[in-house]
């Protein structure tokens, strides 16, 4: 069990982190510059918080009041850097040797051979990092970390330097490793694919402050804040004004329409809806009265952005006066969109998200 409650003053904001993680893969999701890497560095002992407490499996790694601050080599933390931090002048074998604890080095040959076999590095033992692919470099770095018997793994954007095809391969390798790992794994990312494929839970980090943990599925279905929704891929947001609390009715000010939402709360200030949750009513449009279907209204098409699986359609409501478009997804077989400048859409009440902040 990892317990982290720390604060650290940075240049543009204050880092204020408070979470616990058990035997799970916890994703730390946030935009660049939000404090993700700094959080990992504080846990690993590379950076020192100004205040707080870090505990791993009942062992205190850092405590500002008790003046405890274990050095990195005593923390039993495996930290995979973005660029892997391999020794450039050393071969694969030599890099792995560097990860073996001092008391085990007498049996290093057997340990290295086992690591090479386990990390699928046969044939590159004598090569140096510049001769390796991105995936091979990562496997060497991970192998070196595991040889030191860490109690926790910290991975900082582990797939960011890989091309798309190689990323899939390495992702599968990481998935296999994670499933066999008995302890805590923290995975820093800003990539939704990595998050959904590799993580059990997620904590959104924004301007140095982490939000409450939730499952990855919960993030996609009920993000807690506008920031979390944006990071989960939602692109449609509007300020709201309450019209009738009993009927859960409000006005979406930026879209110029009145809507119902079963998720509306008394203090809600914003609403949002994922692109794929907006329903185009193309076939039924001529026969469906606009005022007879809940949350149904006419939009004007502005652009169609082609994609393999689903086209992204940019549109605006007919009553809208500002420049806040709606983005929706349509299967590519919806060729009618290429012909219609105006069509009906429905925003299902249960799919409209409402946020206090």
Tell me what pLDDT residue 62 has: 98
Q: Do 21 and 63 share a structural domain? A: yes
DSSP assignment letter at 213: P
pLDDT digits (tens, 9 = 90+) for 110-124: 999 999 998 889 999
∠ CA 176-117-115 to the nearest 5 degrees?
Answer: 85
Q: Do 186 and 102 share a structural domain? A: yes
Confidence of residue 165 (pLDDT cuts 50, 70, 90): confident
* Average of per-residue pLDDT across 271-278: 94
Q: Do 282 and 138 share a structural domain? A: no
At 218, which CATH number?
3.40.50.300
Domain's final residue, options 177, 210, 231: 231
Confidence of residue 292 (pLDDT cuts 50, 70, 90): very low
* Average of per-residue pLDDT across 333-350: 82
Q: What percent of the chain has pLDDT over 70?
A: 96
* Average of per-residue pLDDT across 320-326: 81
Q: Do 334 and 257 share a structural domain? A: yes
∠ CA 122-159-173 to the nearest 5 degrees?
Answer: 45
Is 291's pLDDT higher than 60? no
Is 286's pLDDT higher than 50? no
Q: Do 203 and 118 share a structural domain? A: yes
Domain membership of residue 268 as a residue range: 236-355
DSSP assignment letter at 47: S
CB 16 within 8 A of CB 208: yes
Q: Do 214 and 279 share a structural domain? A: no
Tell me what pLDDT residue 133 has: 87
Confidence of residue 322 (pLDDT cuts 50, 70, 90): confident
Domain's final residue, options 178, 197, 231: 231
Is 61's pLDDT higher than 70? yes
Q: Do 241 and 220 share a structural domain? A: no
Q: Do 123 and 54 share a structural domain? A: yes
Tell me what pLDDT residue 293 has: 67
CB 338 within 8 A of CB 353: no
Is 10's pLDDT higher than 80? yes
Q: Do 206 and 105 share a structural domain? A: yes
Tell me what pLDDT residue 59 has: 97
Tell me what pLDDT residue 327 has: 92
Q: Do 213 and 167 share a structural domain? A: yes
pLDDT digits (tens, 9 = 90+) for 29-42: 998 889 999 999 99
Mean pLDDT of the chain: 89
Tell me what pLDDT residue 285 has: 46
**Domains in the chain: how many in total?**
2
Work out the angle between the directed axes of helices 108-118 and 134-146 (0-180°, nearest 10): 140
Q: Do 244 and 212 share a structural domain? A: no
Q: How far is CA 282 from CA 235, 261, 291, 348, in A?
A: 22, 23, 16, 16
Is 290's pLDDT higher than 70? no
* Average of per-residue pLDDT across 2-18: 95
* Average of per-residue pLDDT across 296-313: 84
Sequence-distant contacts of 174-179: CB under 8 A, at least 24 apart: 174/198, 177/142, 178/25
Domain's final residue, options 231, 250, 285: 231
pLDDT digits (tens, 9 = 90+) for 206-262: 989 999 899 999 999 889 899 999 999 999 999 999 998 888 999 999 999 999 999
Q: Do 215 and 241 share a structural domain? A: no
Q: Token pair 């979470």 is at which residue?
A: 19
CB 21 within 8 A of CB 186: yes
């Amino acid at each position: 069990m990892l317990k982290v409650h720390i604060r650290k003053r940075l240049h543009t904001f204050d880092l204020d982190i408070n979470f616990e993680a058990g035997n799970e893969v916890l994703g730390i999701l946030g935009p660049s510059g939000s404090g993700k890497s700094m959080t990992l560095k504080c846990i690993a002992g590379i950076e020192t918080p100004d205040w707080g407490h870090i505990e791993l499996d009942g062992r205190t790694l850092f405590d500002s009041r008790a003046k405890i601050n274990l050095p990195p080599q005593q923390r039993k933390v495996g930290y995979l850097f973005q660029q892997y931090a391999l020794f450039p002048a050393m071969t694969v074998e030599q890099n792995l040797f560097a990860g073996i604890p001092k008391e085990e080095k007498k049996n290093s040959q057997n340990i290295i051979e086992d690591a090479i076999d386990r990390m699928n590095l046969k044939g590159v033992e004598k090569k140096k990092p510049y001769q390796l692919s991105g995936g091979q470099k990562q496997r060497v770095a991970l192998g070196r970390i595991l040889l030191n018997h860490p109690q926790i793994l910290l991975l900082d954007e582990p797939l960011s330097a890989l091309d798309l095809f190689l990323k899939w391969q390495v992702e599968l390798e990481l998935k296999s490793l994670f499933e066999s790992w008995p302890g805590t794994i923290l995975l820093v990312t800003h990539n939704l694919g990595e998050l959904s494929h590799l993580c059990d839970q997620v904590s959104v980090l924004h301007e140095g402050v982490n939000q409450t943990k939730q499952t990855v599925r919960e993030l996609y279905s009920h993000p807690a804040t506008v920031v979390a929704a944006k990071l989960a891929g939602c692109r449609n947001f509007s300020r709201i004004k309450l019209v009738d609390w009993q009927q859960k009715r409000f006005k979406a000010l930026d879209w110029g329409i009145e809507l119902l939402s079963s998720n509306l709360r008394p203090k809600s200030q914003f609403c949002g809806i994922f692109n794929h949750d907006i329903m185009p009513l193309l076939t039924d449009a001529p026969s469906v009265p606009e005022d007879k279907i809940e949350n149904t209204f006419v939009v004007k098409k502005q652009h169609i952005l082609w994609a393999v699986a689903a086209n992204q359609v940019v549109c605006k409501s007919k009553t809208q006066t500002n420049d806040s478009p709606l983005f929706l997804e349509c299967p590519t077989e919806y060729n009618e969109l290429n012909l219609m400048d105006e069509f009906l859409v429905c925003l299902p009440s249960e799919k409209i998200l409402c946020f206090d902040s």
